[in-house]
């Protein structure tokens, strides 16, 4: 019984279903249908609320179902309410497609998978349709289709050939679809298109304006217009219009870029109609899973994912990998018949959508064919585009805290509104003016410019990054860069140079290594030279040798030549295979008595990252038998060789080169049975020939560090940012590079973690062993049984683990995984999906993780990281938030510096805008008590001249050149921030109240005359509050603009400094000099009539505030005062981040046990013991 059948047979809720359970794409779906009474209620609510209900439904899509529709059984639903794994809501409409009389109704859609007797028909990928009135019922969500499965009475995700299909089925069952079958499938799967919608400017404008931020601004502008506050309303309108225009241009530009990237011009392709019906050309948009397509000889751009069944293709996969290296794709073999097809596991047979087929090759005029596996957004390219269109939501504590603080401001506004109503009713103010003043309180305490002010620092940082050739397509991610405490790096092409240099070949003679031969072309003719000349996947394309860079370097070092007879598209002639021969006089002027030295490559077993090797079957001219040459990872090759042919010092020699960071490849050879015929060689499985081989030697290649790598890693470690290497290379090479670049300090140990899955010898287990250090060779000192000792301050060892062992730990020893991830620095032999899983695991432990890669196999990890930086401009890297056109890791340091400066600026701007709101709130509350208010010009001076100019230039301060060891805070509700805001609010309130009492103490003071409209703007109360408060805005701005350790000093921000000096000078001129025209313009009482001492003492209030404000800010943010307060208030809790707790736990133990094997039970016992110790310590602390 299928999973869905079990779900509904157990009495589950028929109105609800969980789709994609156990994955990140899990969806909880609820069925709803239209209800006339609810629809009528919705219309009444919409009219009575003047459309506000429509806005709420736009912001909260689930309200559409709650208000307009009725919950129902899924089979009756016309609307599906969807909740994803991060609690976001979506609404999708249920659609119905019918099958017309021409195409008929399929007996069942599920005709792609090999259904054996024990298969469960419930697991079909589409519904079985039965007469009468048969139709396809489905809904689409984020470009994936979910169809109604009648047998389980639920929706299930539409599957294709990549799901539970045997390889034998691919080759035997899909010989082409008839026109009717194809039409039936087109109804189910839809068109084979990846179409990114480019919305019109008008539609983008409407969607942008519906944002709550702009709705609040529209409300504020309308309110200000009603209050005759035209100037500021016009300014906010203009600023908002400019902001919307810039935003729309960016969105439109990105949409067009993505649309152009995925767009493929309409083309035709030949398909087989099956059962001797011949072939016909169809549009590629009409392809469906199961079609047998014919690939043209001169290549094409793939528009679907297809598995090759006949012939061979040369493919450029730069769109997916970022590397413009031709890749050879071979057809499925009969040795794989019983395997379940997987695009990832069988990628050497799979042509992916978006990749360019450069050439196809087969016998003579025979067709090269492939079975369509996936179409549209279900393809590999479609998944990439979907990840860009629907990115993982940014979960940043700063933004969550910002919303909480805005809600708190709303609560304060409510208190202010109540106070205003009480005061104005007591004084008999006109109701209209009461409503106006009450609503005005909201726009004062929650400033409309708050979101714009908070993004200013990010905008400046983005522009500076662009000047440094670093391009950011997701500006909010810049703030994430300020919180990073772990950064992962790919090795090849990121930490090291892209290219490899041939260092030499180390031949083996009589089971002993010979000295390294730096010029392989001078080697004597023999198996090792033949292996270097033949064991590769190189091919001639338009007369030029192309292929993997490592293969090119190896082959070119032999100084041999490669010849491929025939045309590029038909190089499979049985009598004339690909030939390699030395480029010598004897080759071109051969001796008639002896045949020339030529080797034909009969068959090629392509390289597989899972198998870690490739091999070829060859035949040398004049010999009676074929030979097998194999190359690959040394540890894999020696496992396939006769042990007696492997030198006894193999490990020492290998480590002597890998520990220096060199790339080492092993070679092996085996003569094959003379009875093996050509036809048998084409069908024999590789495991039958890749065994009992003779070890030939090693190829050593240099992979140098980039000049910028070592200094950048050093600076990151000095800034307490953990550096991690994730590579597909050998673990010994990775360890060496980690030491050379400084990831592993000289005095720290590297411990290699080996994990073994459950077998006959027992359960899964893990062993820890020291990695041999270069300085230890020849000393005779064994490190095997040494203990790991802590220096008391930090962990002084690093784990190195390969992808295979990490997979074993993940699946069988999950309790150990967190410790491995916390202490692990080198992760070698990692597959692309493992890189992404490691990033996700680090994030779950509390790390803010960055990732830098060159785009080759790093795409998933770049998308998963908080900050992903691609060093490649390939199309696959468009999903990375950052792309650097400068191909070295200096960009990492730059992004983190800018991120810290932007985050600090965002905090400063937020605190400033909050204090600006509170200052003005206190001002108007005081004035409302006197039935007075600030004049429009006074409001304009504060809101526009002071606040806007300060907010604009505050973020212009550049980041410091050196990263501080301490990260900037990431939470607004941190105690130091809360105390800072509270203290400043108290100070500004005391200063304004104090100035008012000083005014009332004057003998000439008379209270403002009562006003029934509460519009008394020219009185001594208003004058005093306005003049004193204008200084307060500048004072808090100055105090919040501290530079180091994340930004340069304030005096380096010349525009900001000039703005502050100008504003202070102007306000001081108004207060002390009291020029008549300016005071009259602002509606200020005649200050010139009062004594200069009064005005001077009035200036003392803001001057005192500045001193107190600076002292408070410095005390709360730059000293240990807050820590002492926290210690007095409560007992110390364990570290908030999981990884900090794990690190402290490791430091208190003697773990890991070197050269001891630990099973799952041992690890659980160790964890239990650690927990008991922790509980004991906590109990002692409480007592």
1140-1177 pLDDT tens trace: 888 888 888 888 887 777 776 666 666 666 566 655 55
* Mean pLDDT confidence for 846-850: 93
Task: Name, of 242-251, 516-525, 724-733, the range with top average pLDDT.
Answer: 516-525
Q: Give the model's pLDDT for residue 785.
A: 35
Q: Please provide the size of the chain in residues.
A: 1183
pLDDT band for position 1124 (50/70/90)?
Answer: low
Strands 749-756 and 797-802, sheet pairing: parallel
- Asked if 631 and 649 count as a contact pair (C-beta separation under 8 A), the reply is no
Count CB-CB contacts under 10 A for residue 583. Answer: 11
Radius of gyration of the chain (CA): 36
**Position 1135 pLDDT exceeds 50:** no
Other Cβ atoms closer than 10 A to 394: 13
pLDDT above 70: residue 917: yes
Distances (CA, A) of 401 to 483, 485, 662, 849, 972: 15, 20, 49, 21, 6
Cα distance between residue 728 and residue 152, in whole Å: 43
Residue 450 has pLDDT above 90, yes or no: no
Determine the average pLDDT of the residues in 1117-1134: 56
DSSP 165: -
Least confident of 1-5, 315-319, 353-357: 1-5
What pLDDT, in 10s, does the model give residues 699-713? 998 878 899 999 999
Does residue 765 have a pLDDT over 90?
Answer: no
In DSSP terms, which residues pair with 539 in a beta bridge?
546
Q: How far is CA 625 from the centre of its chain?
A: 53
Kindly state the average pLDDT of the residues 570-586: 65
Instruction: Report residue 114's pLDDT band, with 50, 70 and 90 as the boundaries.
Output: very low
Q: Is the pLDDT of residue 659 over 50?
A: yes
Residue 487's pLDDT is 97
Residue 222's region, left for phi above 0, alpha for psi from -120 to 50, else beta, is alpha
pLDDT at 996: 94
pLDDT at 993: 95
Distance, CA of 598 to chain centre:
50
pLDDT tens for each residue of 544-553 = 888 877 888 9
Contact yes or no for 404/973 (Cβ under 8 A): yes
Burial label for 157, CB within 10 Å (0-12, 13-18, 19+), is middle
Half-sphere exposure in the Cβ direction for 970 (13 Å, CA): 19
- Looking at residue 1104, its pLDDT comes to 94
- Cα angle 704, 893, 825; round to 5: 60
Mean pLDDT for 897-918 is: 91
d(CA 167, CA 156): 24
Q: Which of 542-551, 882-891, 916-925, 1129-1138 has the lowest mean pLDDT?
A: 1129-1138
Torsion of CA 828, 831, 832, 834, to 10 degrees: -80
Beta bridge partners of 155: 148
Q: Find the mean pLDDT for residues 820-842.
A: 89
Cβ proximity of 139 and 80 under 8 Å:
yes
Residue for token pair 């606040």: 947
Q: At what angle do helices 52-59 and 36-48 cross, to 10 degrees?
A: 110
- Among 798, 933, 840, smallest CA distance to 429 is for 933
Q: What is the pTM of this model?
A: 0.77
Cα separation of 1070 and 1082, whole Å?
A: 10
Instruction: Decide if 534 contacts 620 (C-beta within 8 A).
Output: no
Across 399-421, b (16+ Cβ under 10 Å) vs e yields: eebbeebbeebeebbeebbeebb
Question: Where does residue 676 rank: exposed (0-12), middle (13-18), buried (19+ CB within 10 A)?
Answer: middle
Among 1046, 1178, 95, 1165, smallest CA distance to 482 is for 1046
C-beta of residue 495 within 8 angstroms of C-beta of residue 705: yes
Instruction: Report the pLDDT value the prediction gives residue 524, as an integer from 0 to 100.
Output: 87
Q: Sheet containing 578-582: which strands, arranged edge to edge? A: 512-513, 501-509, 694-702, 663-671, 627-632, 613-620, 599-608, 578-582, 560-563
Average pLDDT over residues 449-466: 85
User: Band of the pLDDT at 758, cuts 50, 70, 90?
Assistant: confident
DSSP, collapsed to helix, strand or coil, labels residue 383 as helix
- Predicted confidence band of residue 329 (pLDDT cuts 50, 70, 90): confident
Residue 949 token pair: 């100019």
Closest CA to 668 of 548, 507, 782: 507
- Interval 579-585 mean pLDDT: 82
3-state SS of 989-1015?
Answer: HHHHHHHHHHHHCCCCCCCCCCCCCCC
Query: Which pLDDT does position 669 carry in this prediction?
Result: 95
DSSP line for 255-317? HHHHHHHH-----EEEEE-STT--EEEEEGGG--TT-EEEE-TT-EE-SSEEEEEESEEEEE-
Confidence of residue 461 (pLDDT cuts 50, 70, 90): very high
Say if residue 427's pLDDT is above 50. yes
- Please determine, for residue 628, whether its predicted confidence score (pLDDT) is greater than 90: yes
Q: What is the mean pLDDT of residues 367-379?
A: 92
Of the candidate ranges 98-112, 901-915, 1106-1120, the one whose mean pLDDT is the lowest: 98-112
Q: Which residue has the higher pLDDT, 405 or 17?
A: 17
- Determine the Cα angle at 604 with ends 601 and 606, to 5°: 150
Residue 123 confidence (pLDDT):
38
Instruction: Identify which of 190, 187, 176 has the alpha carbon closest to the alpha carbon of residue 102.
Output: 187
Of the spans 5-19, 798-812, 822-836, 842-856, which averages the highest pLDDT? 798-812
Strand ranges inside 543-643, DSSP E? 544-546, 560-563, 578-582, 599-608, 613-620, 627-632
Q: Where does the pLDDT of residue 324 fall: very low under 50, low under 70, confident under 90, or very high at 90 and above?
A: low
Residue 366: predicted pLDDT: 79
State how far the Cα of 887 lies from the Cα of 707, in Å rounded to an integer.
11
As annotated, the active-site residues are 490
Whether 725 contacts 489, CB under 8 Å: yes
pLDDT at 317: 79
Per-residue pLDDT reduced to its tens digit, 1091-1118: 999 999 999 999 999 999 998 888 776 6
Average pLDDT over residues 674-679: 87
Q: What is the pLDDT of residue 134?
A: 64
The angle subtended at Cα 456 by Cα 452 and Cα 460, nearest 5°, is: 155
Lowest mean pLDDT across 95-104, 236-245, 500-509, 929-938: 95-104
Per the model's pLDDT, the better-predicted residue between 1094 and 1123 turns out to be: 1094
Which pLDDT band, with edges at 50, 70 and 90, does 5 fall under?
very low
Q: Which of 243, 262, 115 is nearest to 197 (CA)?
A: 262
Q: Other CB atoms closer than 10 Å to residue 548's CB: what's the count?
A: 18
Q: Average pLDDT of 913-927?
A: 91
Sign of CA dihedral 565, 569, 572, 575: negative
CB 302 within 8 A of CB 376: no
Rounded Cα distance between 509 and 532, Å, is 17
Supply the pLDDT for residue 102. 56
Confidence band, pLDDT 50/70/90 cuts, at residue 893: very high
- The pLDDT value recorded for residue 670 is 94
Alpha helices in 1-109, H assignment, sequence order: 3-9, 36-48, 52-59, 62-68
Q: What are phi and psi of 492, to 5 degrees?
A: -70, 125
At 40-88, the pLDDT tens digits run: 999 998 898 888 888 888 888 999 999 999 999 998 999 999 999 888 8
- Confidence band, pLDDT 50/70/90 cuts, at residue 30: very high
Of 186-190, 205-209, 264-268, 1115-1119, where does mean pLDDT reach its minimum?
Answer: 1115-1119
CB neighbour list of residue 489: distance below 8 Å, 6 or more residues apart:
495, 723, 724, 725, 726, 851, 852, 853, 889
List the structure tokens of 1084: 């200020």
pLDDT of 1126 above 60:
no
pLDDT band at 132 (very low <50, low <70, confident <90, very high): very low
The predicted model gives 346-375 an average pLDDT of: 86
Q: What is the pLDDT of residue 769?
A: 86
Of 259-268, 322-331, 451-460, 843-852, minimum mean pLDDT range: 322-331
In the predicted structure, residue 571 carries a pLDDT above the cut 70: no
């Amino acid at each position: 019984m299928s999973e869905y059948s079990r779900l509904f047979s157990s009495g589950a809720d028929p109105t609800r279903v969980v789709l994609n359970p156990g994955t990140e794409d899990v969806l909880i779906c609820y069925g709803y249908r239209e209800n006339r009474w609810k629809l009528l209620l919705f219309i009444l609510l919409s009219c009575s609320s003047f459309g506000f209900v429509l806005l709420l439904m736009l912001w909260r899509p689930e309200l559409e179902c709650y208000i307009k529709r009725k919950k129902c059984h899924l089979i009756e639903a016309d609307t599906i309410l969807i909740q994803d794994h991060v609690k976001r809501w979506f609404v999708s409409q249920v659609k119905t497609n019918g099958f017309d009389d021409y195409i008929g109704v399929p007996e069942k859609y599920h005709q792609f998978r090999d259904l054996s007797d024990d298969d469960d028909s419930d697991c079909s990928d589409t519904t079985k349709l039965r007469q009468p009135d048969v139709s396809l019922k489905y809904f689409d969500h984020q470009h994936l289709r979910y169809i109604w499965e009648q047998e389980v009475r639920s929706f299930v995700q539409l599957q294709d050939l990549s799901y539970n299909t045997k390889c034998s089925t691919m080759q035997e069952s899909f010989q082409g679809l008839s026109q009717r079958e194809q039409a039936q499938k087109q109804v189910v799967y839809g068109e084979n298109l990846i179409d990114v919608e480019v919305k019109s400017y008008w539609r983008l404008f409407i969607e942008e304006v519906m944002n709550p931020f702009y709705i609040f601004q529209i409300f504020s502008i309308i309110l200000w217009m009603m209050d005759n506050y035209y100037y500021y309303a016009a300014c906010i309108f203009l600023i908002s219009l400019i902001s919307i225009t810039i935003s729309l241009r960016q969105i439109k530009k990105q949409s067009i870029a993505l649309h152009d990237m995925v767009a493929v011009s309409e083309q035709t392709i030949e398909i087989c109609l099956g059962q001797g019906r011949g072939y016909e050309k169809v549009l590629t948009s009409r392809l469906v899973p199961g079609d047998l397509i014919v690939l043209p000889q001169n290549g094409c751009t793939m528009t679907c994912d297809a598995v090759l069944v006949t012939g061979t293709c040369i493919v450029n996969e730069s769109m997916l990998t970022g590397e413009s290296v031709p890749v050879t794709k071979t057809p499925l073999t009969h040795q794989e018949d019983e395997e379940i097809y997987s695009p990832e596991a069988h990628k050497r047979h799979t042509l992916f959508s978006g990749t360019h087929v450069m050439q196809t090759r087969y016998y003579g005029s025979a067709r090269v064919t492939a079975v369509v596996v996936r179409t549209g957004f279900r393809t590999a390219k479609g998944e990439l585009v979907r990840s860009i269109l629907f990115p993982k939501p940014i979960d940043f504590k700063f933004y969550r805290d910002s919303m909480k603080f805005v809600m708190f401001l709303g609560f304060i506004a409510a208190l202010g509104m109540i106070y205003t109503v009480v005061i104005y009713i007591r004084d008999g103010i006109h109701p209209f003016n009461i409503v106006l003043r009450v609503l005005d309180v909201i726009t004062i305490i929650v400033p409309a410019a708050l979101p714009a002010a908070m993004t200013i620092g990010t905008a400046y940082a983005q522009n500076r990054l662009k000047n440094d050739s670093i391009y950011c397509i997701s500006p909010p991610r810049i703030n994430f860069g300020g919180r990073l405490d772990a950064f992962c790096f790919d090795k090849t092409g990121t930490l090291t140079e892209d290219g490899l240099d041939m260092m030499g070949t180390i031949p083996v003679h009589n089971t002993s290594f010979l000295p390294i031969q730096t010029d392989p072309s001078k080697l004597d003719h023999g198996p090792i030279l033949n292996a270097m000349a033949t064991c590769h996947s190189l091919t001639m394309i338009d007369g030029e040798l192309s292929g993997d860079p490592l293969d090119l370097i190896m082959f070119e070092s032999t100084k041999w030549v490669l010849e491929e007879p025939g045309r590029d598209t038909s190089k499979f002639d049985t009598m004339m295979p690909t030939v390699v021969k030395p480029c010598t006089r004897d080759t071109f002027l051969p001796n008639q008595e002896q045949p020339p030295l030529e080797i034909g490559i009969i068959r090629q077993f392509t390289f597989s990252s899972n198998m870690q090797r490739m091999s070829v079957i060859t035949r040398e001219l004049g010999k009676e038998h074929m030979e097998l040459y194999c190359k690959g990872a040394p540890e894999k090759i020696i496992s396939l060789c006769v042990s007696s042919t492997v030198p006894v010092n193999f490990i020492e020699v290998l480590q002597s080169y890998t520990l220096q960071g060199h790339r080492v490849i092993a070679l092996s050879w085996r003569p094959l049975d003379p009875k093996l015929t050509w036809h048998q060689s084409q069908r024999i499985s590789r495991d039958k020939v890749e065994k009992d081989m003779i070890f030939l030697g090693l190829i050593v290649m240099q992979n140098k560090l980039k000049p910028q790598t070592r200094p950048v890693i050093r600076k990151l470690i000095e800034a307490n940012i953990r550096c991690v290497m994730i590579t597909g290379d050998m673990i010994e090479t990775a360890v060496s590079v980690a030491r050379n670049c400084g990831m592993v300090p000289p005095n720290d140990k590297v411990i290699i973690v080996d994990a073994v899955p459950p077998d006959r010898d027992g359960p899964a287990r893990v062993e820890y062993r020291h990695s041999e250090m270069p300085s230890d060779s020849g000393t005779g000192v064994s490190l095997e049984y040494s203990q790991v000792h802590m220096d008391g301050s930090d962990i002084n060892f690093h784990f190195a683990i390969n992808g295979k062992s990490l997979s074993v730990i993940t699946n069988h020893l999950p309790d150990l995984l967190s410790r491995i991830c916390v202490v692990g620095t080198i992760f070698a032999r990692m597959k692309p999906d493992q890189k992404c899983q490691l990033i996700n695991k680090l994030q779950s432990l509390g790390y803010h993780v960055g990732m830098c890669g060159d785009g080759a196999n790093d795409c998933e990890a770049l998308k998963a990281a908080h900050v992903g930086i691609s060093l490649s401009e390939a199309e696959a890297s468009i999903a990375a938030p950052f792309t650097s056109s400068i191909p070295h890791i200096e960009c990492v340091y730059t992004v983190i510096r800018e991120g810290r400066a932007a985050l600090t600026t965002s905090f400063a701007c937020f605190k400033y805008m909050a204090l600006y709101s509170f200052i003005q709130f206190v001002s108007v509350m005081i004035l409302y008590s006197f039935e007075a208010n600030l004049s429009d010009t006074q409001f304009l001076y504060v809101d526009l001249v002071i606040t806007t100019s300060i907010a604009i230039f505050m973020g212009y301060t550049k980041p410091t050149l050196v990263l501080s060891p301490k990260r900037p805070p990431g939470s607004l509700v941190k105690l130091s921030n809360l105390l800072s805001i509270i203290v400043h609010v108290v100070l500004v309130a005391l200063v304004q109240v104090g100035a008012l009492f000083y005014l009332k103490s004057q003998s000439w003071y008379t209270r403002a005359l009562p006003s029934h409209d509460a519009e008394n703007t020219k009185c001594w109360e208003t004058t005093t509050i306005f003049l004193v408060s204008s200084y307060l805005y500048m004072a808090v701005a100055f105090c919040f603009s501290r530079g180091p350790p994340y930004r340069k000093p304030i005096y380096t921000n010349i525009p900001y400094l000039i703005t502050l000096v100008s504003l202070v000078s102007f306000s001081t001129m108004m207060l002390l000099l009291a020029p008549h025209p300016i005071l009259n313009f602002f509606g200020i009482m005649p200050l010139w009539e009062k004594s200069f001492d009064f005005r001077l003492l009035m200036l003392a209030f803001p001057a005192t505030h500045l001193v107190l404000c600076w002292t408070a800010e410095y005390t709360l943010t730059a000293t240990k005062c807050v820590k002492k307060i926290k210690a007095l208030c409560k007992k110390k809790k364990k570290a908030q981040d999981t990884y900090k707790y794990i690190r402290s736990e490791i430091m208190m133990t003697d773990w890991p046990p070197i050269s001891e094997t630990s099973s799952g039970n041992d690890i659980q016992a160790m964890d239990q013991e650690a927990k008991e110790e922790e509980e004991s310590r906590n109990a002692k602390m409480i007592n």
